Amino acid sequence: MSKTYVVQSVAGPKRDHRRGTREQPLWDEHAEFIDGITKGFIVMGGPFEEEGGAMLVVRAENEDEVREKLKPDPWLIHGVLQIESIRRWDIFIDERD
């Protein structure tokens, strides 16, 4: 049975803080990668515009599965983002429609 995890990332050393999220190096490759793993894995996600990091809410069996699925992300490989934490999250309230 899959569990919910929150993945928080921060700006990596290759993040250009003068540019927005979609103007970062390898944006197209990163977006294609994320689109390819969304179904059944990513519940929701998006950037923290001020800091240059991001947060994902994902469904996986364990933390190792989360790391393995995200490992090929071009932004992680090339230092645009770095994973800061992966935490298990028990959701008690969910008011999304």
**Is the pLDDT reported for residue 25 higher than 90?**
yes
93, part of any domain = no
Contact between 84 and 9 under an 8 Å Cβ cutoff? The reply is: yes
Name the band, by pLDDT with cuts 50, 70 and 90, for residue 13.
Answer: very high
Is residue 63 assigned to a domain?
yes
Q: Looking at the 3D structure of the chain, how many domains does it have?
A: 1
The reported pTM is 0.91
Residue pLDDT, tens place only, 62-93: 999 999 999 999 999 999 999 999 999 999 99
State the pLDDT confidence band at 24, using cuts at 50, 70 and 90: very high
Domain enclosing residue 75, as ranges: 3-88
CATH of the domain at 34: 3.30.70.1060
Residue 11, C-beta contacts closer than 8 angstroms, at least 6 positions apart:
17, 51, 52, 53, 80, 81, 82
